[in-house]
Chain A
Amino acid sequence: MKVLIADDELRLRKVIALYMSKCGYEIIEAGNGETAIELAKENKPDAIVLDVMMPGMTGIEATKKIRELPEFAKTPIILLTANASEDDIKIGLASGADKYITKPFSPKELVESIDNFVK
């Protein structure tokens, strides 16, 4: 099962990717929203994890763009963010994401969320 992870925090992205790959997922990594969209088109992941605050295109903007593509209409999208306010969560979910996880989080929680969507 393929999961695309986009986060500009390289160290955090690598740790999450390592955890998820050990859990049996094939991981595709992106450092920003634009690259995430390109890699999604190329690799057709089963789930997409996007950090909200990335340079250039944010995770919310990327979510909207991905949702416009017919092949990703039903692909689970999870937003990761350090913004924890209710307004931020509402904006995130309104963009088309399926779930909103605030930092700090346990990678186990992320894996369980993805499992709930795709298994």
Chain B
Amino acid sequence: MNSDTLINDLSVVREYFSHNLRTSTAMVVATVSLFKFGLSDDTDSMADMIVESSYFLDVYDKGMEVLFNYILGKPIRNDKEAFDPVKITGKVIEDLRSTIKEQNINISCFFEDMKACETNSYVAKTLLELILCEEIRKCTAEITISSIDNVLYIKKTAETKNPEIYKIFARFFAEFNIEFTYTLDTLTLRFA
């Protein structure tokens, strides 16, 4: 990696995670302020928002670590189990059910012929979680997640601008034989 690419990548990663970590923290601080002043009408919903903001913080923290390690050429953690995109997608949707409800998002899933993959499962899981969090956070209508022949499609009904960091995700995935491509309305992950 040449020095210009390195500096640009570091800048993109810092900006992306700084923005998201600050936004998720803002959500926790604002919600706690509501509790503190006894202003919440729906404490269960508010508590769920704090829990899910903590989930976002965890995903961004892990994501930042693997991205910086990749860019700086440091050793990257691996997990022993095979990478199972269907299982991870289901878990993210379950963990973000309050966000999905609050934003009135409809998520449909149709999985066919999707097998667990032999790859760096920690990296693949972390990047997939980041992608799903990004798309769910931005979504205002509907997302369809489907798979055919070991290709995962994330299709949005409303076009949304893709973050610049997706270019780095694509290069990172490619190191592990996963092809990540994206347009304004569809993200595609092709597993070997």
Contacts and interface: CB of A to CB of B under 8 A. Distances in A.
Interface of A: 8-12, 14-16, 18-19, 22, 31, 53, 55, 82-84, 102-108
B49 A104 contact: no
B23 A9 contact: yes
Most B CB within 10 A of own CB, among A19, A82, A105: A82
A58 B88 CA distance: 33
Interface string B9-39: 0000001001110110111111101100101
B103 interface: yes
B18 A82 contact: yes
A103 B26 CA distance: 6
A82 to B, nearest CB: 4
A82 B22 contact: yes
9 contacts: A8-B138, A12-B26, A15-B27, A55-B138, A82-B19, A103-B23, A104-B30, A106-B33, A107-B34
Given A9-B137, A104-B26, A53 B19 contact: yes
Given A19-B30, A104-B26, 4 more contacts: A55-B138, A82-B23, A106-B30, A107-B34
Most A CB within 10 A of own CB, among B33, B37, B138, B160: B33
B126 interface: no
B140 A104 contact: no
Contacts of B137: 9
Contacts of B138: 8, 55
B19 A107 contact: no
Nearest to B39: A22
B99 A11 contact: yes
Contacts of B25: 103-104
Contact of B160 (A55, A82, A107): A55
Interface in B40-83: 40-41, 46, 49
